[in-house]
Amino acid sequence: MKKYLEILKIVSVHGIKGEVNAQAWCDSPSDICGLGTLYSRDGSKKYELEHARPKGESMVTIKLKGADTPEAAQKLRNLILCADRNDLKLPEGSYFIQDLIGLECFSETGEPLGRLTDVLPTGANDVYEISKNDKNFYVPAVPSVILKTDVEGGKMEIYKMEGLFDED
């Protein structure tokens, strides 16, 4: 599992004091507000978070230490920042999307169903995209369908409901 998880992308400058607006890639932009340090994708560079505040449902305004002017903030545009997985807390039975992508999916009888390629938030529940032989199947991420998730083992067990994996 990756140590550093992509959590936001800086998209624009905000004001004249070096703040930036970023797309939050987490359940809630407020999750970012409690972090002190963000990282480059490989963790080789640290960014100290001076402050952060949610901006709507999927954005956050942040100030990184050392970026004190609009010009410095502009240089940060399109930067993707990560959080150390140890700094993030997940409720029991929840997983980071980045850990789910790539899991091999099997039916309860062991039949290979494909690979999990995307997680689509729908409001009521997420939907998992399972790809096999250039076809995509969409599975509701609910306990009655997702029977077992083994991130460490790279597998997911899915109840193969009638019609869910029809090739037509």
Q: Could you tell me the two tokens for 89?
A: 């807390």
| β-pairing verdict for 46-55 and 19-24 | unpaired
**Cβ atoms of residues 132 and 113 within 8 Å:** yes
Return the pLDDT at 28. 83
Tens digits of residue pLDDT in 51-110: 999 998 889 999 999 999 999 999 999 999 999 999 988 888 888 999 999 999 999 999
Q: Evaluate if residue 124 carries a pLDDT over 90.
A: no
Each domain of the chain, given as residue ranges in start order, spans: 4-87, 97-158
* Furthest CA-CA distance within the chain: 60
The SS3 assignment for 34 reads coil
pLDDT, position 163: 80
Identify which has the larger pLDDT, 93 or 131.
131
Q: What is the pTM of this model?
A: 0.78
- The answer, yes or no, to whether residue 149 has pLDDT greater than 60, is yes
Question: What is the predicted pLDDT for the residue at 168?
Answer: 57
| Fold entry, domain 97-158 | SH3 type barrels. (2.30.30)
Q: What is the DSSP letter of 67?
A: -
128 versus 163: the higher-pLDDT residue is 128
Q: What share of the chain is helix, strand, coil (3-state, %, to 5)?
A: 10, 45, 45
Among residues 39, 35, 49, 46, the alpha carbon closest in space to that of 2 is found at: 39
- Alpha-carbon distance of 24 to 10, in angstroms, equals 9
Question: Per-residue pLDDT tens for 6-31?
Answer: 999 999 999 999 999 999 988 888 88
Write out the H or E segment, with its range, that includes residue 97: helix 97-100
pLDDT at 63: 97
Q: Which fold has domain 4-87?
A: Elongation Factor Tu (Ef-tu); domain 3 (2.40.30)
How many angstroms separate the CA atoms of 157 and 168, rounded?
23
Q: 133, exposed or middle or buried, with CB in 10 Å at 0-12, 13-18, 19+?
A: exposed
